[in-house]
Amino acid sequence: MASRSLLTSSILRHQSRTLVRGRSAFARFYSEQRYENILTSRPDPGVALITLNRPKALNALSTAHFRDILSALNDADADEKVGAIVLTGSEKAFAAGADILEMKDKTYADAYGNNFLSNWEDLKKIRKPIIAAVSGYALGGGCELALSCDIILASPTAKFGQPEINLGVIPGGGGTQRLTRAVGKARAMELMLTGRMFNAQEAERWGVVAKVVEEGEGKVLEEAVGMAKAIASKGRLAVMATKEAVNAAYEMPLTEGLRFERRLFHGLFATNDQKEGMAAFAEKRKPNFTDS
């Protein structure tokens, strides 16, 4: 327990220093890449941490902000040392929505002609698991960003919602599809047609989030980093195959999904990690995966 508290303190301390001193590089936590709207760090060699950093806008997702997030996700996905990714915001807001000031004067010709928000589909291309650590507001685009992640952990302070109906539009980053798959048609209709927020406990009860963590500043981030470390300790090929198979369950009929799962299962028998994992089990020792 003490080591977990030290991890939390270390993460928060480094984030705080970065916010105060700008994007200075110190220790081994921070990557060389610099972004305008996010912070990137390594709380563990196998874990990439991406922190949304537009505090004055409650982390509202502008085009430039989302571009930074995608770039950092792609960098982490391509990094052989990274086994899992954590995406988080501040204690007050994960992301309080899309940037309305950026959108309010858009025309149909502009939105349709330039395929506005189409790059949100690029989130599906990230092969490594993404854990969203959510505190405070996750509304509109912020809720959609969290729903695009593979696992959501929530602080008791978390507030989710798709309030686009109050702006005369509908969700445009996947909310009508992902939230409906998570909570079912009737509840999704109620939430999106009224625009009401729902809390962390409701989100856990409905299966939107995997877990509501204990109260306390930084606790949800601590839990997310701990989970990411556990995932990063597994064989990367099996982790990516698991993510691919689970995501396929939402898009395939059961018969096709079972066939797809079986083919991925068969394919892993061609890896060194399968040989090592099963040998380690038989020999009652810890496996040494080589991601090959």
- Any idea which residues carry the catalytic annotation? 98, 141, 144, 164
Tokens of 202: 């409701």
Cα of first residue to Cα of last residue in the chain, in angstroms, is 33
Strand 47-52 to strand 84-88: parallel, antiparallel, or no bridges (unpaired)?
Answer: parallel
What tokens appear for 21 in the block? 């001193």
Yes or no: say if 289 and 276 are a contact pair by the CB < 8 Å rule. Answer: yes
Would you give the distance in Å from CA 290 to the centre of its chain? 25
Q: 99 to each of 54, 141, 178, how far by Cα in Å?
A: 11, 9, 21
Cβ neighbors of 155 (< 8 A, separation 6 or more) are 91, 133, 134, 135, 136, 200, 212, 213, 215, 219, 220
Q: Tabulate helix, strand, coil % of the chain (nearest 5).
A: 50, 15, 35
